[in-house]
Amino acid sequence: MGEGDVAIIADSAGRGYGFAKGVYDHIMGKPERDFSMGMIDIETTNFKDGEFKVRVKENIRGKKCFFIHDANQEPSRWLASLAFTLDAMAFSSPKEINLIMPYTRFARQERKEDSRVSVNAKVLANLVSDYADRGMTVDLHAPQMQEYFSIPFDNLYSFPSLITHLRAQHAGCLDNLVVVSPDLGGGKRAEALVKRLVKQGIHADVALGYKTRKRENEVEKVAIIGEVAGKNCLVVDDMIDTGGTMIKTGEALLEKGATSVCAFATHGLFNDRTRNFGVFKEVMVGDTLCCEPMPNLEIVSLTGLFGEAIYRTVVGESLSGLFNDH
């Protein structure tokens, strides 16, 4: 590759810039890297009426670009900023536009559940596919959303990073372990983690939560399906939104005799700041979003995962190798 062929593009004024810088540092630190790479800033001009425009601050003509979009924006601003930045890049003559979404907003509206409603995930996929050559995210809420994109779109898995973190910080938790999904729909996610643990010589069982709701985002009760008495339980989900489901699952596990209960979610939204997560020994979340500190909150870094995925994309290596060995 020639000089300066690869560019990481991110907004230095955004809260997610530290994540983008971590990805950049991981790639730059690889001794086998044989290509040059720069980090290019995005300039945003805000107007008094609330409108704004974006500009890529340096020349990207002929470069293979990886735009790491800051997820720490309210959804409508996130979507507008995404569209404007992709448009600015497309008219700057890059060799490639690779969109990196650490957290993909609107992914929960992935199907038509009623008449006369928008399928927001499809709208997002159409927008991205019109501008980008490739996309990448981690732990989509609905993995089938990948089918909406008309470009190659990779959904990474956070489990390798989680297992590395558990072995380094909570090795005792891996003994006598039960991986718990807080709902039936997440059962495959729990089973996938167990399979990866088994490959590393760690035995674990699976338990499921069955939840009933009074209304949207409000869980009334969680029942546990599976044997958890005397076990170390790890509740796993793709996100913590208000935390209601996660907390009620933790309470139900303790009521059924679990020795200890920890939780992991890839994306920590924490939209109800008044929730008490003290039921958990530890609450672990990825660094795809910035979180307010809590006494028992731990951050599992995913910058290495994205850095390795971007590196492999640049050099043409398979991404599946990131997960087949775990």
Residue from 64, 211, 231, 248 carrying the catalytic annotation: 211
306 Ramachandran zone, left/alpha/beta (phi>0; psi -120 to 50): alpha
CB 306 within 8 A of CB 277: no
Closest alpha carbon to 234 in 196, 252, 207: 207
Answer whether 83's CB lies under 8 Å from 52's CB. no
Nearest to 161 by CA among 288, 295, 303: 303
- Dig out the tokens for 92 from the structure: 């700057």
Cβ atoms within 10 Å, residue 204? 20
Residue 50's CB is within 10 A of a number of other CB atoms, namely 7
Q: Which residues sit opposite 158 in a β-bridge?
A: none
Q: Is 211 a catalytic residue?
A: yes
- What distance in Å separates the CA atoms of residue 69 and residue 123, rounded to the nearest whole number? 17
Token pair of 25 as six digits: 């540092």
Beta strand extents in the chain (DSSP E only): 6-10, 37-46, 52-56, 64-68, 96-100, 134-138, 153-156, 177-181, 204-215, 218-225, 232-240, 260-268, 283-286, 297-300
Measuring CA to CA, how many Å separate 140 from each of 136, 164, 220, 301, 314?
Answer: 10, 21, 25, 17, 23
Residue positions annotated with a catalytic role? 211
